Amino acid sequence: MVTWLDRWPAGPGEGPTVAVKDLIDVEGSVTTAGCRTLADHSPPAGRDALCITAIRQAGGRLVGKTNLHELAFGTSGINPWFGTPANPADPGRVPGGSSSGSAVAAAVEEADVALGTDTGGSVRIPAACCGVVGLKTTHGLISLDGVWPLAPSFDSVGLLAVDVRRVVLGMAMLGVELRDEEVPGVVGRVVLAPAVDVDPVIEAAVDAALAAAGLAVEPVAIASWKAAWAAQQRVLVEEAWRCDHHLLDIDSGAGVSDEIRARLLAGSGIDAATLKADRAAGLAWTAELAELVGRHGILVLPTLAVRPPRLEEFGAAGGFNVLTAPVNFAGFPAISLPVPVAEPGRPAASLQLVGLPGAEGLLCAAAARVEAAVSA
């Protein structure tokens, strides 16, 4: 069970310690992206990614590169080459992906803040699985210079930590100071049934957390949610093919797992007409979601529709990112945080807050309010 792919002692000073998903360049370290081919054939990075430069300038102390789902192209966090980080909330279950190692490092507090990336849920999903806070930032807010691409239309740098305060600290290190904004008294509570089947225990946990925080809700039915998810997934897979298919030509593709090979090849079969239609659907979806979020200020829904599957059962868990990927399709920010469930002995569920582009401050303020309420 491997959390770290490269580990370093924290440098001098008292700045926050920072774990870095091994999709992000750190000078002198090989960026493996969790892939055997890149680990074996890539030279050490010649310079830091721009987000790492910002972290260093802010006094952050890097403590290592964390494991991930291979090429960031999956949601389980299971890695056949380097091992799978152990989920501290429930070791028999998946840690979530793709930022699995970053979620685990944050959860066990081996770093104050962990950097991840989120293309279809890859910060929020492992945060939900491991019981920590995960922030997906507005697409384009944090530079992707020096970050290995998966699907550039959706890739975004994000943060994981044990609480909202540390996520805000991480944003400050990335050069984004978040104001403490006033949280609306009424939020939009997303209703996706019957198109998306969500575990009623999770739905109840979300509702109970909102009530504890004193947030009134207005139901928001979004009939197009699942269609947006399906279209986003096709665009993502096609872009992943264009970004990473060349890895299949190195050593006859021996250093790319069968799972990732199959996903990449699926992207090669998406025709131009389908892709054009899906991108047009993305524009319509963005406008629709903007109208809904603008009307309510914040939309609320679970992060995961189901309990994290057991490691040996994940193959049957289709659509694990069905509640997260549509947010990436629009490029909006979202934050996930753990909320308690009523079922004894069961790890926390996860609540997701979605805002308009640039609303990270509002989302963190709302998340902090919920966090304080459920902690009490």
Cβ contact 203:302 at 8 Å: yes
Quote the CA–CA distance of 338 and 308 in Å, as a whole number: 13
Is 105:66 a contact under the CB 8 Å cutoff? yes
Q: Is 153 designated active site?
A: no
Q: Are 253 and 247 in contact (CB under 8 A)?
A: yes
CB-CB contact of 365 with 160 (8 Å) = no
Q: Please tell me which residue in 29, 102, 122, 336 is annotated as part of the active site.
A: 122
Q: Is 76 a catalytic residue?
A: no
- Out of 29, 76, 98, 99, pick the active-site residue: 98
Tell me, yes or no, if 336 is annotated catalytic.
Answer: no
Residues pairing with 216 in the sheet: 186
CB 227 within 8 A of CB 199: no
Scanning the chain, the segments in alpha helix (DSSP H) are 36-41, 50-57, 100-107, 124-130, 164-173, 200-212, 225-244, 258-268, 272-296, 325-330, 360-375
Q: Residue 63: in which H helix or E strand, if any?
A: strand 61-66
- Per annotation, catalytic residue among 21, 76, 99, 156: 21
Hey, which residues are catalytic here?
21, 98, 122
